[in-house]
Structure 1
Amino acid sequence: MSQPMIALPATDPTPIVTRFAPSPTGLLHVGNVRTALVCWLAARASGGRFLLRLDDTDTERGSAEFAAAIEQDLLWLGLGWDGFSRQSDRTGRYQAALDRLKQSGRLYPCYETAEELELKRKSLLARGLPPLYDRAALALTDADRARLEAEGHRPHWRFRMADGPVEWQDKVRGRVHFEGRDISDPVLVREDGRALYHIGSVVDDAEMGITLVVRGEDHVANTAMHIQLAEALGAVPPSYAHTSLIADAEGHGLSKRLGSLSLRSLRGEGIEPMAVASLLAKLGTSDPIEPRLSLGQLAAEFDFAKFSRTTPRFDPAELQRLNSRILHETPYAAVRDRLAALGLGAVDEAAWAVLRPNLQRLDDAAGWWRVVTGPVGPVVADAALLEAAAAVLPPEPWGDATWGEWTAAVRDRTGIKGKPLFLTLRLALTGLDHGPELRGLLPLIGRERVAARLAGRAA
């Protein structure tokens, strides 16, 4: 005998309990990562709980590797969960719910083939009518069904929608209204006996105490059906928030462009997790997109009232800019271990303060550290100026004031100042015409290397 469903309150309690329920059929991309992030922030902002639930019942397309990748990517982003489940472990609960729907007359068998259903759909569209299922299967007698099954037809099972209104107050879209009679009876069980997404989602949300479901606006019609399905199972539906779907920088949908926008690919490009979070948390809201160094900051600023129904645009160039700004503000303690993993254990807090304003990705630090430690092939633009600069090179120890004192002495000795002085010294000391401020770089390079480079020797 099946256990009763958990009936939830009619309005969201505080704290919120929400969930992210991806299918492990591919890598997480920016679209579904945004949903996960919004779920996590909504839960944390209310002091609530965030659950991870893998919809892993599609054994043909799903894989353990994708499931593991989802968990790894969420943890990389910092989205830890308070509870975890797999739908493949709960098929018995779904079957119990389906049995209840059959007993109540809300789930009925249909025997049309895919080709027959497609012909019906085209016929309705040709007449200017919505492609709703005509419920022809309800007219079948027991004898009809027995004959069809004897002929080898296996039924799919549809949920019978009630005719009344379906309404909810969406946290993003406001009041949403549907009429049940305008929604085609959805298939809950395929011909091969596999239960589809709808039943598992509704059963799990009810039994796991989910109080808020966040998903894309393309699921709005599904939500109307899910509300009726929950009520048919004796549960009170959760609250809903349907966010606008993300477009690219030109306003095109991302559906065919997500391969390069997986979280795994962004991570491989050296994008910081907080750059991703800072951008996705603010897309489609009234808040400006600015760098944040912690998810806690984003949670403190989170509010569904800030979300718009307009289509937000995901711009990789903006993500790159955010990435740089976050690195420029990141304290040494947050990157010390990562620097060591890059072979940059010698980069201390003082060196990090000098290098970070020039970083676009963390591994750029390796290139700038090579400028410090050498060997660097100096560019000699004015040998006489460099000789004069070497003659007044001060003794160590060097500090922040050394650069200013030294260049003043060179200016007094040669009469050269401004860009001709500073660029000539930069080219000799770094081999480049750009880079970290020499005021900070000079003490890191040290007097011995500086003197060698001024003399035109690689050091």
Structure 2
Amino acid sequence: MSSTFDKVRTRIAPSPTGFLHLGTARTALFSWAYARHHGGEFVLRIEDTDVARSTQDSVDQIIAAMNWLGLNYDEGPIYQMQRLDRYQAVVEQLISEGKAYRCYATPEELDAMKEAQQARGEKKLYDRRWRPEPGKVLPAPPEGVKPVIRFANPVDGDVTWDDLVKGTITINNREIDDLIIVRTDGVPTYNFAVVVDDWDMRISHVFRGDEHINNTPWQINIFNALGAPLPQFGHLPIILGDDGQKLSKRRGAVSVTAYADGGYLPEAMLNYLARLGWSHGDDELFTAEQMVAWFDGSHLSKSPAQWDPAKLDWVNGHYLKQIDEGRLADLVVTQLKAKGIQATAEQVQPKVGLFKDRCATAAALADWLAMYFAPVMPSVEDLAAYITDAVRPALAVLAERLSAMTDWNKAGIQQALKETLAATGLKMPQLAVPVRVLVCGRSQTPSVDAVLEHFDKKKVLERLHSI
């Protein structure tokens, strides 16, 4: 930790222009774990200066995702649009010190300038035509043109920082121009607002995606112009989808809340996200508490991570098998409700143990348990393959044996199956699979006697007689 700061303070600062996507969730996790590891504080900031695209629904979804993941924050949510007076005060300070200026160039003038630069084979940069300089005479501000405010970026020298992930990075100031820090409507731009926020909030360490590397020189120069302490930056490699392209809000990234809705567990998602760009030896499965103990900012990968749905399912399946069956029953009830099926946790809990080893998610477990609470529809193919004239007499015999049972339990069902096999000369698979198809709506299940035990006896008989 830099000696400039008295404690570690990190932040996550999503834009409420959509859901909290997976890359931002990973950044939030790393920022949270780093702060917790060092006994510091974690801040949630909502960067809502994109007024046209920001929505309250997105804010609500971001907060819901953070809560589901268990990434508790010590401050926030803090909204940038509630801090406009503060940004304006800092801008006026910069202007008075000659570190920022008003620019009246129109969009048409800027387009013409860039076209001329392109024609000359030059890099397209703002030519500083409205930047005050000794001996330079500026024209009178044109009437009817609202100015933007630009930062007077240093024209020479390098910007260098020791990145927590990438190592030493150097960018020459000639590669960047005088950034617009306040738009014509008075709303600050990202690179300016984020500096003022991090300064005011005493942020000591900034983890973010490496798409922000090109923004960092501007931000460092603004920090320096304000005399503000510099946080340490760590730029995390992107996450690639299974198609090898970057996951993003605009390109296929599923929201964190969609995974919650899909029956994934927050502890599994945290575990999986942690391994996308960070490692602790060969450990693949670990708790949030273990991650906090281990996450000191080292062992962060410089290479992009690959999103692997099958690996996530494996991790989730591990946790699904470990959690309390009461909690699992509640999750399944929620999943059944989403399918339009009503059931209670008391009805569901006795059944989850029989099927959970076959499932990666609570949604998959609900798919299994739906047969107990809703009608089943065997496929035409299964009916044709297994409900044959040769097996129908045996199904009738089994229904008679089951109907005569006074105590509905696994042992009695197993005995009825054995008696039916003895009476008809069939083998167990020849009888069990048709029973599964009619009663469960599928040809494969756990042991048929164990599955039937959890059904209401009347329902089993109705389905066996449905042929």
Distance 1:435 1:304, change over 3 A: farther
Cα contact 2:164–2:297 (8 A) shared by 1: yes
Equivalence for 2:45: 53
AA aligned to 1:457 is: H
Q: Which runs of 5+ in 2 are unaligned?
A: none
Equivalence for 1:334: 327
Shift of 1:81: 1.7
Q: Does 1:396 align with 2:407?
A: yes
What TM-score, normalized to structure 2?
0.80
Tell me how far apart the structure 1 counterparts of residues 425 and 149 of structure 2 sit (CA, whole Å). Answer: 90
Equivalence for 2:188: 195
Shift of 1:199: 2.2
AA aligned to 1:77 is: L
Deviates more, 1:257-266 or 1:406-415: 406-415
Equivalence for 1:347: 347
Tell me how far apart the structure 1 counterparts of residues 417 and 298 of structure 2 sit (CA, whole Å). Answer: 55
Q: Does 1:178 align with 2:179?
A: no
Shift of 1:240: 1.1
Cα contact 2:262–2:363 (8 A) shared by 1: no
The RMSD of aligned alpha carbons is 3.7
Q: Deviations over 1:390-445 (max 9, x none)?
A: 6776763635x667666666666665445334424433542420234435323212
Q: Alignment partner for residue 283 of structure 1, among 263, 270, 276?
A: 276
Q: Does 1:383 align with 2:392?
A: yes
Q: Does 1:457 align with 2:465?
A: yes
Equivalence for 2:372: 372
Tell me how far apart the structure 2 counterparts of residues 217 and 201 of structure 1 sit (CA, whole Å). Answer: 16
Equivalence for 1:3: none
SS at match of 2:140: helix
Q: Deviations over 1:89-140 (max 9, x none)?
A: 2222222222332233221232322232233334334444333333332357
Distance 1:436 1:328, change over 3 A: farther
Cα contact 1:9–1:236 (8 A) shared by 2: no
Cα contact 1:121–1:131 (8 A) shared by 2: yes
Cα contact 1:279–1:289 (8 A) shared by 2: no
Deviates more, 1:49-58 or 1:344-353: 344-353
Q: Deviations over 1:1-27 (max 9, x none)?
A: xxxxxxx945787x6321111222233
Deviates more, 1:266-275 or 1:89-98: 266-275
Shift of 1:202: 1.0
Tell me how far apart the structure 1 counterparts of residues 202 and 170 of structure 2 sit (CA, whole Å). Answer: 24
Equivalence for 1:77: 69
Cα contact 1:10–1:236 (8 A) shared by 2: no
Cα contact 2:18–2:249 (8 A) shared by 1: no
Equivalence for 2:149: 157
Equivalence for 2:256: 263
Tell me how far apart the structure 1 counterparts of residues 54 and 16 of structure 2 sit (CA, whole Å). Answer: 5
Tell me how far apart the structure 1 counterparts of residues 279 and 36 of structure 2 sit (CA, whole Å). Answer: 20
Distance 1:181 1:119, change over 3 A: same
Q: Does 1:307 align with 2:300?
A: yes
Deviates more, 1:433-442 or 1:410-419: 410-419
Deviates more, 1:211-220 or 1:404-413: 404-413
Tell me how far apart the structure 2 counterparts of residues 133 and 410 of structure 1 sit (CA, whole Å). Answer: 87
Tell me how far apart the structure 2 counterparts of residues 326 and 68 of structure 1 sit (CA, whole Å). Answer: 27
Tell me how far apart the structure 2 counterparts of residues 139 and 285 of structure 1 sit (CA, whole Å). Answer: 47
Q: Does 1:124 align with 2:117?
A: yes
Deviates more, 1:221-230 or 1:52-61: 52-61
SS at match of 2:93: helix
Shift of 1:338: 4.0
Q: Deviations over 1:187-224 (max 9, x none)?
A: 21223333222222112112212111111111112112
Cα contact 1:189–1:196 (8 A) shared by 2: yes
Distance 1:205 1:437, change over 3 A: farther
Distance 1:106 1:66, change over 3 A: same
Cα contact 1:18–1:39 (8 A) shared by 2: yes
Distance 1:137 1:261, change over 3 A: same
AA aligned to 1:51 is: V
Equivalence for 2:214: 221
Distance 1:120 1:370, change over 3 A: closer
Tell me how far apart the structure 2 counterparts of residues 181 and 12 of structure 1 sit (CA, whole Å). Answer: 31
Deviates more, 1:412-421 or 1:229-238: 412-421
Q: Alignment partner for residue 16 of structure 2, among 24, 36, 41?
A: 24
Deviates more, 1:52-61 or 1:221-230: 52-61
Cα contact 1:166–1:179 (8 A) shared by 2: yes
Q: Which runs of 5+ in 1 are unaligned?
A: 1-7
Cα contact 1:52–1:83 (8 A) shared by 2: yes
Deviates more, 1:389-398 or 1:104-113: 389-398
Cα contact 1:210–1:238 (8 A) shared by 2: yes
Cα contact 1:216–1:245 (8 A) shared by 2: yes
Equivalences, count: 446
Distance 1:212 1:10, change over 3 A: same
Distance 1:194 1:430, change over 3 A: closer
Q: Does 1:89 align with 2:99?
A: no
Q: Does 1:440 align with 2:450?
A: yes
Tell me how far apart the structure 2 counterparts of residues 63 and 263 of structure 1 sit (CA, whole Å). Answer: 17
Tell me how far apart the structure 1 counterparts of residues 199 and 83 of structure 2 sit (CA, whole Å). Answer: 13
SS at match of 1:219: helix
Tell me how far apart the structure 2 counterparts of residues 30 and 375 of structure 1 sit (CA, whole Å). Answer: 37
Distance 1:18 1:444, change over 3 A: same
AA aligned to 2:356 is: R
Equivalence for 2:25: 33
Q: Alignment partner for residue 104 of structure 1, among 49, 73, 97?
A: 97
